[in-house]
Structure 1
Amino acid sequence: MAEFKLYIGNKCFSSWSLRPWVAMRHLEIPFEESLVRLRTPETAANLAKVSPTGQVPVLNHNGRIVWETLAILEYLADLFPGKNLWPADIGARALARSAATEMHSGFREVRYGWPMNLRRPKGHKPLDAEGEAQRSRIEALWRECREKYGKGGPFLFGHFTAADAMYAPVVTRFDTYGGSLAPDTRAYVDAVLSTPAMRLWYAEAAKETWPEPGPDE
């Protein structure tokens, strides 16, 4: 068994699975992947074998189980300080953690109004009023991170961090549903989507033969 085993769901739509997966791939942390297909009669039983919450992602590190996306990212940051999963500057780190936590607990209307679906054709889909407010908040937050701490590279804090991993599924939503994006938003979305890790995730999602989710879902 590999030192790290990451349990994930369908790549086409499992947004929480994408977050630690893309971080580990981008930062070249070797791991074995185990996919638990979601939305089947057997899903709950299969998840119960590997996850204390019945959800993915779950990281198994030589028998130590870590669940919840932010907990996995924090655990990896502790194990691999040289990977700089959080910015070194304390102010930048505080902002990165605040932004990541806001993503973890918020933006419900954006996430539900624009569900991650890598099969869906690109096209603008309006959100309700609260969703539009949340969308604007996301863009303002990205802009703040980039303007304050992003001068050293294309990501929120220059180099790729846990904050970028947390927003990776939202990046796919902006690309799928957002239509014409503000130039700075488009530049950040393109930077994340162009990483080898994200390109690999998309390629593997395209190979999934299961019918869910449908292209219009």
Structure 2
Amino acid sequence: MYTLYIANKNYSSWSLRPWSVMSQLGIPFEEKLVPFEQGCNWDSFRAFSPTGKVPCLLDGDRVVWDSLAIVEYLAERHDGVWPSDPDARAWARCAAAEMHSGFGALREQASMNCGVRVRLHHLTDALKSDIARIDELWNEGLVRFGGPFLAGGHFSAVDAFFVPVAFRILTYDLPVQASTAALAEQLRQLPSSQRWYQDALRETWRDSAHDDEAHLAGEWLEDLRAR
């Protein structure tokens, strides 16, 4: 059985992506959560990951790191990770790779923090641009492949790569188009997403660096996390 190393569910968007693929598609795995530490995680995370980062997948003696590499590794072994239609599959891979390497303003100014609700101080031009691109990309997928998911009728890895965005939309009440908001809600209501979210709310770990990012972004309206 696979072992997937992740960090705090409240914060770790990178961990969520392969976790969502495996959980939603019913790929069996053992979850090992190693919390973020104050300062540097290098020493503790290096015990299982060559980069000192999460996520990291172990398949026997084989180590696979980086969320996109993990998903591609799984796609070689399991059906349904990517769409079966070649056009949808090519688009899905491009969209997932764009999320993997881009959207810097969204990451920096609206970092994932599932259990809080924040009113942003202001929307920078860079963040507006990232939000507009999310609207454009999601609507392209829905229209081109017919929905209800980004690349057609079935959940696939491209949806998993954007589940963290769906949580960010909720946390920061991001001003997205109605169709984007509807898809974000659909992604949050997936059984896997609901399990992740409820686990995130139950966590009592706090990482000051991640919380500081959310405090800098705006006024905290609610903190729904367990005390």
> Normalization by structure 2: what TM-score?
0.87
- Alpha carbons 1:125, 1:178 under 8 Å: kept: no
| Match of residue 31, structure 2, among 30, 33, 39 | 33
Counterpart in 1 of 2:91? Answer: 95
2:127 and 2:174 mapped to 1: Cα distance? Answer: 15
2:172 and 2:93 mapped to 1: Cα distance? Answer: 26
| Match of residue 109, structure 2, among 113, 128, 131 | 113
| 1:9-88 to 2 correspondences below 5 Å | 9-40=7-38, 43-81=41-79, 84-88=80-84
SS at match of 2:53: coil
Counterpart in 1 of 2:125? Answer: 129
- Alpha carbons 1:100, 1:163 under 8 Å: kept: yes
1:214 Cα deviation after fit: 4.0
For each residue in 1:69-111, what CA deviation from the matched residue of structure 2 results, as whole angstroms up to 9, or x when unmatched? 1110011111012xx1111111111111110111111000011
Q: Which stretch shows the higher mean deviation, 206-215 or 32-41?
A: 206-215
Change (3 A) 1:61 1:16: same
Counterpart in 2 of 1:188? Answer: 183
1:53 and 1:100 mapped to 2: Cα distance? Answer: 21
Give RMSD over aligned pairs: 1.7
Counterpart in 2 of 1:143? Answer: 139
Q: Residue type matched to 2:181 in 1?
A: R
SS at match of 1:79: coil
Query: Whose strand proportion is higher, 1 or 2?
Result: 2
- Alpha carbons 2:106, 2:130 under 8 Å: kept: yes
- Alpha carbons 1:13, 1:117 under 8 Å: kept: yes
| Match of residue 172, structure 2, among 162, 174, 177 | 177
For each residue in 1:25-45, what CA deviation from the matched residue of structure 2 results, as whole angstroms up to 9, or x when unmatched? 100111111111113367321
2:35 and 2:157 mapped to 1: Cα distance? Answer: 25
2:181 and 2:42 mapped to 1: Cα distance? Answer: 38
1:139 Cα deviation after fit: 1.0
SS at match of 1:7: strand
2:135 and 2:107 mapped to 1: Cα distance? Answer: 14
Q: Calculate percent identity across the aligned residue pairs.
A: 42
> Normalization by structure 1: what TM-score?
0.91
1:125 Cα deviation after fit: 5.4
SS at match of 2:57: strand
Q: Residue type matched to 2:179 in 1?
A: D
Q: Residue type matched to 2:3 in 1?
A: K
1:206 Cα deviation after fit: 1.0
- Structure 1: state its 5+ residue gaps: none
Aligned residues: 211
- Alpha carbons 1:122, 1:179 under 8 Å: kept: no
